[in-house]
Homo-oligomer: A and B are copies of this chain.
Amino acid sequence: MLRVAVAGASGYTGFELVRLLCTHPRAKLTMITSRAQKGQRIDEFYPALRAHCDLVFQDPDPVELAARAELVYTALPHQAAMDLVPQLLDRGARVIDLSADYRFIDPAVYESWYQPHKTPELLSEAVYGLPELHREAIRNARLVGNPGCYPTSVILAMAPLLKESLVEPGTIIADSKSGVSGAGRGVSLGVHFCEVQEGFKAYKVAEHRHRPEMEQELSRIAGKPVRITFTPHLVPMTRGILSTVYASLKDGVDLSRVEQAFRSFYQGAPFVRLCGSKDLPTTLQVRGSNYCDLGWRVDEPTRRIIVVSVIDNLTRGASGQAVCNMNLMFGFPENLGLDFPPWQP
């Protein structure tokens, strides 16, 4: 059994990691940390976990973490991760970081959207942990920067089309909608039930920090700089992201060419399910799972393609993808411990 630890296990992302690792056939969770909940048993904090995990939250001590685990998941706020990660690597642990700290190739991009980076030298080593794009690099990575939730949904929607140059890169607009768990477990008026329930809204329009992450990966696929417009929205539901992604088709590209691009790009990928152009996916059909389901339509009069991409923001958009990356890093089957059906209804 692979010994694993979760640093920052008290939030939704951390909990989702614990939930998935509890039942993973090849991993054994040996340590969890949380400064705020230090000393408390996780199954008192999350009664749902009773009979499944009785670990006690500890301080995120890098020596202890590296001693107890071959792999450490860091589910910490941005900046807190980059304090811890280098120490873990130095002590021989491999790391999957769920913050934004190791997602960017270019420190300048990171720094223009976040803050100064303390370990820019690690950025060239870190692998962007989207298996469908970087499967081989992930297998050999010591440090994986686990993708953001919105970027996962948007990049998977556009990658096949940019790869085969079927759309005009300058025309991409991603209109994304997320459930509330994406905002985390912290309290604020923005997640108050009564403010959310009938209060659908857009937020951080044209200024959300997930945009440069999308642009980095889409540019790599396209082989040239891609600038997109990205608008996130908050949906009165707990889990799920649906991204509606628009782009202008190049001349001569038809529906069958589009379909062929998707089929070819995702051949053999266990966690992408193609719905084609008839049955567009809903967030419900992937809830609790690591799937990204994709459907598309062509709007003939305007020659635009509309791709609809759905994921569970906590699973595929964070912790499930992290477990998938672990599977790749340690030579397990890609879907080990993740091969269960979505939660319905």
- Contacts of A89 on B, CB cut-off 8 Å? none
Q: A173-B173, A345-B238 are in contact. Are A306 and B231 (CB under 8 A)?
A: yes
Say yes or no for A308: interface residue by CB 8 A criterion: yes
Q: Which residue of B lies closest to A174 (CB)?
A: B175
- Asked if A91 lies at the interface with its beta carbon under 8 angstroms from chain B, I say no
**Interface membership of A1, Cβ < 8 A:** no
A311-345 Cβ-contact flags toward B at 8 Å (1 or 0): 00000000000000000000000000001111111
**Any chain B CB within 8 A of the CB of A22?**
yes
Q: 7 more A-B contacts (CB under 8 A) besides A198-B284, A201-B281?
A: A12-B194, A48-B284, A51-B291, A173-B304, A175-B175, A195-B284, A236-B237
Interface hit among A54-62, A64-72, A102-110, A292-300: A292-300
Q: Collect the chain B residues with CB atoms within 8 Å of residue A191's CB.
A: 187, 192-194
Closest Cβ neighbor of A271 among chain B residues: B51
Instruction: Please determine whether A185 and B177 come into contact, CB atoms closer than 8 angstroms.
Output: no
Residues in chain B near residue A192, CB distance under 8 A:
185, 187, 191-193
Partner of A231, one of B229, B231, B244: B244
Whether A47 lies near B288 (C-beta < 8 A) is: no
Q: Which B residue sits closest to A275, measured CB to CB?
A: B47
B306, A206: Cβ atoms under 8 Å? yes
B177, B206, B207, B301: the one within 8 Å of A200 (CB): B177
CB contact between A181 and one of B49, B194, B229, B275 (< 8 Å): that residue: B194
- Does A15 touch B at the CB level, under 8 Å? yes
This chain: copies in complex: 4
Q: How far is the CB of A117 from chain B (nearest CB, A)?
A: 22
A19 proximal to B (CB < 8 A): yes
Could you tell me which A residues sit within 8 Å of B by CB distance?
12, 15, 19, 22-23, 46-53, 170, 173, 175, 177, 179-181, 185, 187-189, 191-203, 205-207, 227-229, 231, 233, 235-240, 242, 244, 246, 270, 273, 275, 279-289, 291, 293, 297-302, 304, 306, 308, 339-345
Given A12-B194, A194-B191, A236-B235: A200 and B304 within 8 A (CB)?
A: no
A306 vs B173: C-alpha distance when bound (angstroms): 11
Across the interface, which residues of B come within 8 angstroms of A233, CB to CB? 177, 242, 244
Q: How far is the CB of A194 from chain B (nearest CB, A)?
A: 4
Task: Say yes or no: A198 contacts B175, CB within 8 Å.
Answer: no
Tell me the bound Cα distance from A189 to B180 in angstroms: 13
A-B contact pairs, 15 of them (CB 8 A): A15-B344, A47-B273, A47-B275, A52-B341, A53-B341, A173-B173, A175-B244, A191-B192, A198-B238, A198-B239, A198-B240, A200-B242, A233-B244, A235-B235, A235-B236
